[in-house]
Amino acid sequence: MTERDPSRPTPGTSDSESEASIEAVFDGSASAASALGEAAGPSDEQFEQMFGDLLLEAREGRLSKEEMMQAMTERMQTFQSSIEAGPHTTEQAKRLLSVETDECVAVLMKDGMTSAPDERMPDITEATFAALNSIISGKPSSPEQRAKWPRGLGDVLAADPVATAKFLYDAEGTKAFCLAFASVENARVWVWKMNYEVFMGEGAAMLFVQNMDFDSFRLPENLEMFTRYFMTGDVVDDGGGGLKLRESLDRVGHWEYGHGEGPRQREPLSAWIDRTLQRIEGATVYTTKSRCDCGARNAKARAEEAPILAARDTAE
């Protein structure tokens, strides 16, 4: 993003409007909020929280109007930049999610960071970690795929990137589930492979990273959901070097758009787990269907079922 000179008026605001906004600050926070931008529309309380210290400094003569407005503008720009960059890049994310390591890592989950703060990730056996790590790097890319790797990294890396899932800990001993890489280049290519070779067509979750300059580390939706079942101990080793869902946890539901039976696309969770594992391994390749595609298919199915259901209801 190109930085803008904070002394210049906000784009879309005339010089006269900027002068009026300076005066408005001294008329009350609501007027100032309006002057700084109707689109943002902060309440009096929100405005006071964000700019109250600057207002006080100006009213007591320690800041001129111009200095106050410049400080407000810079604070708003910093706030907006943090929003655009994403919450995973903030100082708060760094404080909450950092772990003790020199490795290049992405942090997927940390004890105490879920909706249930007291919940803790269970211990995971070496065999289960080994089964995941045997496939999590994905199938080796073809020469054609390597040619599409980002920033020409197909010529930089001598082999496909390797991701390693593991538990790491912070200074207080809090456990975190992480993906570790030998270098930032390995991480970049692995993210590319997962998003554009394995789980094509999906949205993605942005993750906090450590020891690498890579703020767009993202997990495709189905892979992110799969890792959650792994982290909670629902997916375990099958005794033969592979992974499976615990049999006691299998249930029927809607897990992925475009798969499952009937208009509601329902299937066993174990079927979705197995299919996702096959995608990671490269045994099954397809582009994930979008909600729009499946919505149209469901509407057609419901329309086709309507006469059958009506006839049944009449007969009953």
Assess whether 44 and 98 both reside in one domain. Answer: no
pTM over 0.85: no
Does residue 305 fall inside a structural domain? no
Does residue 109 fall inside a structural domain? yes
Domain boundary among 237, 252, 283: 237
Domain boundary among 188, 207, 237: 237
Q: What is the pLDDT of residue 289?
A: 86
Assess whether 214 and 78 both reside in one domain. Answer: no
Does residue 247 fall inside a structural domain? no
Q: What angle do CA 225, 176, 213 make, to 5 degrees?
A: 85
Confidence of residue 142 (pLDDT cuts 50, 70, 90): very high
Q: Is the pLDDT of residue 277 over 60?
A: yes
Q: What is the pLDDT of residue 2?
A: 28
Assess whether 202 and 111 both reside in one domain. Answer: yes
Assess whether 63 and 166 both reside in one domain. Answer: no
Assess whether 98 and 231 both reside in one domain. Answer: yes
| Whether 63 contacts 53, CB under 8 Å | no
Total domain count for the chain? 2
Assess whether 161 and 108 both reside in one domain. Answer: yes
What pLDDT digit, counting tens, does each position of 203-261 carry?
888 899 999 988 889 999 999 999 999 999 999 999 999 999 999 999 999 999 899 99
Does residue 268 fall inside a structural domain? no
Does residue 309 fall inside a structural domain? no
